[in-house]
Each structure stands twice: as C-alpha cells, then as structure tokens.
Amino acid sequence: MDNQYLCPHCRGHLRVGDCIVFKIRNTKREKGLLLLHPEAGNYTSIKHPQFNFQEGERIDFFCPICLQNLDAAIDENLVHVIMIDEQRNEHEIYFSRIAGELRNYQLSEEGITKTGEYSHMYTHFEMSD
C-alpha cells in the first residue's frame, strides 16, 4: 500500500487516488481546492484555473474533511500533516505554505530537519494558461 496522508485533527484520509486534497485560501481570502501529488519528483499541483495565487503568496491550508486549519504549531509558515508509510510507521510531515517555496521538513528525534525525501510536498504550480 502506498503512503497515506492523514489530517492531524480528525485523522481523515487526505489522499484520494494519486492526489492529496487540501482546502486552501489565498491572501484575498478566496477559497479553493488544491491537489498535490505525493510521488517523489512530481512537482505539479492541480487547482481550478479561476482560483489563483502568486509565487511567494502565503496560502492557508485546511482539512477538507473537518475544515480545521493545518497550521503547524511549531512554525506559522509550515503546514502539518501525518504520513503513514508502507511499514505503517507514522511521520510528522511539514511543508511550506508559501506558494512555490521549496522548504520541507520532517520531525525527527533531534527536532525538525530539512529533508530531501519529502521535497515533492510543496505548493509549486505551473501557470498553464
């Protein structure tokens, strides 16, 4: 079984098919849905073309199931989700809520460390139009 992604509040499954689903809000307080690909090396994210945000914009992330916000308690610029790997080990995953920013973290016993392993979890998006 592939890695699973859970909301830290309701433990609902955020992964549907090949995508992780988030409810998001841009700085104009417009709301939309954002799909991120959990596969390594896949930097695309999917959103409706009429919902826009800019590179560098600070995006609010919410669980689409319980609607709680996914702000990381440790850093207001990070989003927090739980990942369960194929061995059923649970990991705290943090990624940047700044659109297009390549900053990703995993909580380890030594604290928060930058890791390349989850570098696919970021909110880069392609301007396709």
- Chain residues binding Zn ion by CB under 5 A are 7, 9-10, 12, 63, 65-66
Residue 22 or 43: which CB sits closer to Zn ion?
22
* Residues 82, 90 contacting (CB under 8 angstroms): yes
Residue 7 or 84: which CB sits closer to Zn ion?
7
* Residues 26, 105 contacting (CB under 8 angstroms): no
The two tokens of residue 55 are: 């590179």
* Residues 35, 46 contacting (CB under 8 angstroms): yes
* Residues 28, 111 contacting (CB under 8 angstroms): no
Residue 43 or 79: which CB sits closer to Zn ion?
79
Distance in Å, CB of 112 to Zn ion, minimum: 22
The two tokens of residue 9 are: 């509040």
- Residue 119 sits at the vertex; the CA angle it makes with 97 and 19, to the nearest 5 degrees, is 75
Residue 6 or 121: which CB sits closer to Zn ion?
6
Distance in Å, CB of 69 to Zn ion, minimum: 10
Rounded distance, CA 94 to CA 109, Å? 15
Distance in Å, CB of 116 to Zn ion, minimum: 28
Distance in Å, CB of 14 to Zn ion, minimum: 8
